[in-house]
Each structure stands twice: as structure tokens, then as C-alpha cells.
């Protein structure tokens, strides 16, 4: 059993590699873990290209939803994006907050932060800032954000409750979050759970949907809702790396499901 520190180091190393990969490689994989499928289609991500503020240089194809689309961002808001990568969701959020708002991206991977800062400089944005840090201990003050967004990141964090507590801390009273993430219904086969690459690929780090929602509720958030939900279908050529034929068939024919969900919740006033 790997420790939380070891799992976080796996994710950091993997996403340092991802920052240097082409988007097409990331999209044909599990959250960018490499070209692990011969089936050329997008396993996890949604299409950003029609959203205002979209910048292709910042889109690494790593998300599993469109949280900014559901985040009810207003002009002048301060928005924090957790696991901001190359800045994709931050630049979409910047279109929503306008010149009077602020957007803060937090990521613990040096290569991602550097890439995001280059993208922001190209775009000439002075109100989009990228901070290197752990989202379990965000390098920002309490009660500063109107909105928190995140796209396919909490599932990578071993201490999910720690992140949820931090989201509560940094949100202003009455603020809210909209987070896209991977959750499970039913238990994953043991081989999927144990494998490090699948962990960095978003799947075996996910927890049960009911547990995910319960963590949010027990940490004080109100008006919790699932804004969007879609099944994630992992191709056979990926599953076969971890499961023999019998286990693969049992997995596909069983009650286990892998889903992308976008969850909304509010901090009490």
C-alpha cells in the first residue's frame, strides 16, 4: 500500500510529463497518462472549443467536464481553480469575471505552472495568476473566493476531505463551488485499484459517489447538487492491461460504473 506522499509524488511526476505532451496524446488516454489506448477517441474530456475565452495552447485535454459552464461566475468575482494545469479553465473563467475580477490557478507541478504563466503572458492578462502549491494547503488567505472550480483533480488527491475543508476555508461566506470529477458506483477490481499509472489516470483514485457527496455535506456545505453526470467507458485495450479475460468480462457485465460528475455546493452565509 503506497502512502499519501508516494501517491502524490506519482501524480506530480506523471503530470510533469503530461505538460510536455501533445494534446492528442492526452486525449486518447486516461486523463493524460500516455497513449494507452489504440482507440482514438476522447475517454474523459468534454469539448471546450465553443466556450468564450477558450485558448487552445492551454487545453491539454485533461479534464472530465466543463465546471466553468456550471459555476455561475459573475463579473468582478474572484475565482480559484484547483489543479489549474496549463490554464484552460482559468482563461474560461477570466472571460466570465471580466477585467474587474480575478482568477487564481493553483497547481503543484512546476512544469504546469510555467506553461500556464507563459500562456497568460501571451494573452496579456494581468488579473490571472498562477500559484504553485498543494490544494490541501492552498497558498491563499481565508474567505477570498466567490467561486472555486476544479476539473478532474480531487480524484487524484489521497486526502480528499482535506481539500474539501480547504475549499470551505478559502470561499467567502455565501460563495460556492462547481467541480467536475470522477466517481465510482460499485468497487473497482483490485488490480485497477493498485496500479500507479491508473491512479495518475484518474480512475483508481476515485471514490464512491455517495461517499464523495457525503464528504461535502459533512464539511458544512449546503444546497449540494449534481449538475451533470455521464458514464466513462474505458476501452478493452486499457482494461486488458490490468484484468484477465474473465475479470474483464465480470467487470463489464457487473454493476460497477465509472462516472464523470459535476457537483455544486454553497458555503453558508
Euclidean distance between the first and the last CA atom of the chain, given in angstroms as a whole number: 41
pLDDT score for 141:
97
> What's the CA dihedral at 89, 7, 188, 219 to 10 degrees?
-60
DSSP-based three-state secondary structure for 133: coil
98, containing H or E segment = none
> Would you write out the chain's pLDDT as a tens digit for each of its 269 residues?
567 676 667 666 776 666 665 555 544 444 444 444 444 334 566 777 777 787 877 777 778 889 999 999 999 999 999 999 999 999 999 999 999 999 999 999 899 999 999 999 999 999 999 999 999 999 999 999 999 999 988 988 889 999 999 999 999 999 999 999 989 888 877 777 766 556 555 666 789 999 999 999 999 999 999 999 988 877 788 788 888 888 888 888 877 888 899 999 999 99
Q: Where are the domains of the chain?
A: 4-266
- Specify the fold of 4-266: Rossmann fold (3.40.50)
Judged on CB neighbours under 10 Å (0-12, 13-18, 19+), 151 is buried
Cα separations (Å) of 168 from 42, 123, 147, 154, 219? 32, 31, 11, 14, 8
Amino acid at each position: 500500500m503506497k502512502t499519501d506522499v508516494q501517491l502524490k509524488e506519482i501524480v506530480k511526476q506523471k503530470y510533469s510529463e503530461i505538460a510536455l505532451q501533445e494534446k492528442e496524446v492526452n486525449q486518447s488516454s486516461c486523463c493524460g497518462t500516455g497513449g494507452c489506448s489504440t482507440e482514438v477517441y476522447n475517454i474523459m474530456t468534454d469539448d471546450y472549443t465553443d466556450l468564450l475565452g477558450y485558448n487552445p495552447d492551454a487545453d491539454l485535454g485533461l479534464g472530465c467536464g466543463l465546471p466553468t459552464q456550471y459555476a455561475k461566475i459573475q463579473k468582478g468575482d474572484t475565482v480559484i481553480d484547483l489543479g489549474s494545469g496549463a490554464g484552460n479553465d482559468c482563461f474560461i473563467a477570466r472571460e466570465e469575471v471580466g477585467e474587474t475580477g480575478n482568477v487564481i490557478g493553483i497547481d503543484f507541478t512546476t512544469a504546469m505552472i510555467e506553461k500556464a504563466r507563459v500562456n497568460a503572458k501571451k494573452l496579456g492578462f494581468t488579473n490571472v495568476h498562477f500559484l504553485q502549491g498543494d490544494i490541501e494547503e492552498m497558498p491563499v488567505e481565508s474567505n477570498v473566493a466567490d467561486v472555486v472550480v476544479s476539473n478532474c483533480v480531487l480524484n487524484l488527491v489521497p486526502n480528499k476531505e482535506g481539500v474539501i475543508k480547504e475549499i470551505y476555508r478559502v470561499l467567502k461566506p455565501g460563495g460556492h463551488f462547481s467541480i467536475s470529477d470522477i466517481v465510482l458506483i460499485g468497487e473497482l477490481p483490485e488490480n485497477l485499484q493498485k496500479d500507479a499509472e491508473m491512479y495518475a489516470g484518474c480512475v483508481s483514485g476515485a471514490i464512491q459517489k455517495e461517499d464523495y457527496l457525503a464528504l461535502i455535506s459533512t464539511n458544512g456545505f449546503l444546497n449540494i447538487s449534481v449538475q451533470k453526470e455521464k458514464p466513462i467507458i474505458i476501452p478493452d485495450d486499457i482494461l486488458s492491461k490490468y484484468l484477465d479475460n474473465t475479470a474483464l468480462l465480470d467487470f463489464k457485465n457487473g454493476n460497477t460504473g465509472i462516472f464523470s460528475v459535476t457537483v455544486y455546493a454553497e458555503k453558508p452565509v
